[in-house]
Amino acid sequence: MARYQEKETYDDLIEKDKYAAPIPGQSLADEPGRWAWESPPKITDPDEAVSFVITRFEQSQKTQSAYTKLITAGMPIESLVNTVSFGGFVEGQWTVDIAELIKPPLMAFFIAFADEHQLPYRVFNNPTELEDDGIGDEQTLHLMAERNPRAFEQVQQSVELDLDDMIQKEQGFLGTPPDMGGEETLPAELPAEPNLEQEIG
């Protein structure tokens, strides 16, 4: 029985033959126009590029089904958009600049698609990068108080209002009772307690 052999990597080949590496500048010596991106792009308007992607997506049920499965499986929408934009560049549809410009509207389109079909989706590849931005809340408030005092006052007022609402909700039935329309009156004299010793005697 033949044993499983691991596939040789590029580094393994280089170790066997040091001259197996590409010659420096070899890509510049290739025949011009060999790749699609070396020719003038077919689409030069970002809006037209976005419409091109959306139209092809909506006209293909197979593509919609595949993307539905990928989004449901947890593939971030950012990765899908990167694949689409880079694929159009490789095919010679648009330049690398257009590929970057169409990413935001395509992100919005695929998010709307996921919302419409009630798909659980992730937006970014690494959402933790947005959580830790290196600036603490306390530092932000100090900077706001120094550089933008008007905004700082608005934040203070908003926090005070939120605290008032929170206190009222937490009080619940312990809060101020509603006015029932009448005043409760106490009797002028309380009834005397019975003398238990006299009753027993």
pLDDT in tens, 137-159: 677 777 777 777 777 777 777 76
What pLDDT does 67 receive? 95
- 99, 86 contact by CB (below 8 A): yes
Find the Cα–Cα–Cα–Cα dihedral 32, 34, 36, 39, rounded to 10°. 20
pLDDT in tens, 18-47: 666 677 877 777 787 788 888 899 999 999
What pLDDT does 85 receive? 95
Residues 44 and 48: their CA atoms lie apart, in Å, by 8
- Give me the count of residues in the chain: 201
Helix ranges (H only) for the chain are 10-16, 46-58, 61-72, 77-90, 96-101, 103-116, 128-131, 137-147, 149-171, 196-200
- 34, 27 contact by CB (below 8 A): no
| pTM for this predicted structure | 0.54
